[in-house]
Amino acid sequence: DSGVTQTPKHLITATGQRVTLRCSPRSGDLSVYWYQQSLDQGLQFLIQYYNGEERAKGNILERFSAQQFPDLHSELNLSSLELGDSALYFCASSVSSSTNEKLFFGSGTQLSVL
Amino acid sequence: LAKTTQPISMDSYEGQEVNITCSHNNIATNDYITWYQQFPSQGPRFIIQGYKTKVTNEVASLFIPADRKSSTLSLPRVSLSDTAVYYCLVGVDWTSGSARQLTFGSGTQLTVLP
């Protein structure tokens, strides 16, 4: 158990809908990262937050947004969903914002867009 | 950005030592090298991290030559349960002022055969 909690584990929705994925980092970790993993794309970095502030942005679509709350949990919002958004979404956390930090990953949210 | 290059796949037999090499020609002075292991439908898990020479822990060794342009993950006496994707990751400390993403490469699919 990595200590990172992601909910829900599975999400099935329809095209055009909006969903929210939630992540609780390990106790004491200030950084949260979001990754998308689809079958043919590997692990794609989406966005990183550190202590409530956005720190780095990757290949995140404009339809997607995220935030980190004062209690350090994070939410990834996906809107106007398309079939191609079906993927495994991982959240990871680390102690600091350093990219040399060890990342701890959650078990992921499997999103299926029908 | 320090891009990494790894073999796409490798096969091995139980009990053998496996060496997976990662190239990172543009590694920066402050970059550490970190390896992760990922099983299907699970989040990546930290294996080992190093800066130079050799690092060893209970599961693997990491060899880094003096020029640090490559690194080799060594898994001693692999078993069937070591079948997974292995990622090499190179990062930089935020204090250097560089906005570096934590980007995973394509990884190496290791298949251990009986």
What's the pLDDT tens digit per position in B76-92?
A: 999 999 999 999 988 75
Inter-chain residue contact A100 with B101, CB threshold 8 Å: no
The one-letter code for the residue type at B35 is W
Position B100 confidence tier, pLDDT thresholds 50, 70, 90: low
Q: Which residue of A has its CA nearest to B49?
A: A102
Number of other CB atoms surrounding residue A13 within 10 Å: 16
Q: Which residue of B has its CA nearest to A96?
A: B94
Structure tokens, A87: 């993927």
| pLDDT tens-digit map of A9-67 | 999 999 999 999 999 999 999 999 999 998 877 788 899 999 999 988 887 899 999 99
Pairing of strands B9-13, B108-113: parallel
Model pLDDT, residue B99: 44
Structure tokens, B69: 């342009």
| pLDDT tens-digit map of A95-111 | 877 767 788 999 999 99
Half-sphere exposure of B35 (CA within 13 A, CB side): 32
- Nearest CB to B99 within list A56, A92, A102: A56
CA A46 to CA A24: how far, in whole Å?
A: 17
pLDDT at B2 over 60: no
Inter-chain residue contact B101 with A48, CB threshold 8 Å: yes
- ∠ CA B73-B90-A60, rounded to 5°: 125
* Chain B touched by A103 (CB under 8 Å): yes
| pLDDT tens-digit map of B48-59 | 999 999 999 999
Compute the radius of gyration of chain B from its Cα atoms.
Answer: 14
CB B69 within 8 A of CB B21: no
Model pLDDT, residue B101: 59
Name the range with the highest mean pLDDT among A91-100, B15-24, B29-38. B15-24
Model pLDDT, residue B97: 39
Number of other CB atoms surrounding residue A63 within 10 Å: 13
